[in-house]
Structure 1
């Protein structure tokens, strides 16, 4: 007898899913048996990602920084998947470097996507999950949420805020059968690293202090496949050499 896959029959949605951690998370869920709605603003990259993953991957082109599109996201997910068991709020931006050099528009855009949009997205999917009495919400946070990283005060602040959001919302909704957790990786090999200070990126590469997006996705899948009576509320993961 074949053992069913751990997410067989479930419907998931992942934001920022065309690349990086979002794509790796979607791929892991598809391989675990889920139908996954991949959400991204880059239509071309999204089409390529879904073609790679096959029929269980459904593309949904949304610019989450557009208020109307952001508000319509939950309804559009349900129109594609019929229901929603797992929501991974992964989309985010990065602003690093000295605060005095930061651009006002870049700060506003990053804080909007990293904090406001995550809150709106989670609020948007909660009524459906509450009505069903079951659901999993994972938010991509960062090691920067747990350590006052001196080279990225704006980005780190956004992740400190979202970690508070995850922990407080979790306490509100657990009685509805909904688990809420955060994954907080150290430096991951994604396009966000292109915005790292050059000397920090060179240092991380030289010391082996980077992790793969697929390794983060493995932990996301671990969180999703625990018995329903267990919540993994926050996983901090980093390369072993990161503190060198």
Structure 2
């Protein structure tokens, strides 16, 4: 039996599209108040208005140090406390390392790794004080396998796997569960950087998932009894060969 989430307050980064929007809708359906965090002010404000009073817009640019640092304090002013933090925002770089740029590498590593660490560091004292909380990070199958066509992205997700599992051990004594979901390729804007031939080949092979299939995994993790932690859930398209 799953645990009811009704009445809880969740924060979802990257909530205006893709997996973030999908898990936002699932949480709202479960009676959760969701703070939708996104850098796209127009999109997140519009969506929050459409989704109802329990959807709260929070405009934060995770790549801007001041905006990132202000995120949790600003959210706590709006909703009072945070039960669930879903660190979902991220970006992608594929292809040969020599074909990218230092600026692109910095942007992706800052969003995929540094922003996650800073968000968790910011919310941890609040959850420790309350002796409860859930932190779930969107990782990737690339955090478990050295995928040669995406060396920078894989490196960022390996770093996140290490961070999540060390934080799980640090925070478990405070009643806080920390875990990650590691999906294979998902049909979302994140794949817009894929080579067209690779994307079409994956589509034709049925080796891509919908965002809802990842948010289902997140909902399963969050609704386990408090004495159970799903430390990582790898979710793959059935025809994904890795």
- Fold in common (TM above 0.5): yes
Aligned residue in 2 for 1:42: 40
SS at the partner of 2:6? Answer: coil
Q: Distance in 2 between matches of 1:95 and 1:51?
A: 32
- Which consecutive residues of structure 2, in runs of 5 or more, have no partner in the other structure? none
Q: Does 1:185 align with 2:183?
A: yes
RMSD: 1.3
Aligned residue in 2 for 1:109: 107
SS at the partner of 1:27? Answer: helix
- Aligned pairs, how many? 241
Aligned residue in 2 for 1:124: 122
Scaled by the length of structure 1, what TM-score is found? Answer: 0.96
- Which consecutive residues of structure 1, in runs of 5 or more, have no partner in the other structure? none
Q: Distance in 1 between matches of 2:100 and 2:230?
A: 35
- Of the three residues 57, 60, 72, the one matched with 1:59 is 57
SS at the partner of 1:88? Answer: strand
Q: Does 1:199 align with 2:197?
A: yes
Aligned residue in 1 for 2:217: 219
- Aligned residue runs from structure 1 range 1-244, under 5 A: 6-243=4-241
Contact 1:14 1:89 in 2 (8 A): yes
State the shift of 1:36 in Å: 0.4
Structure 1 residue ranges (4+ consecutive) displaced by more than 4 angstroms after TM superposition: none
Describe the superposition over 1:206-241 as per-residue Cα deviations: whole angstroms up to 9, x where unpaired: 101110111111110110000000000000011000
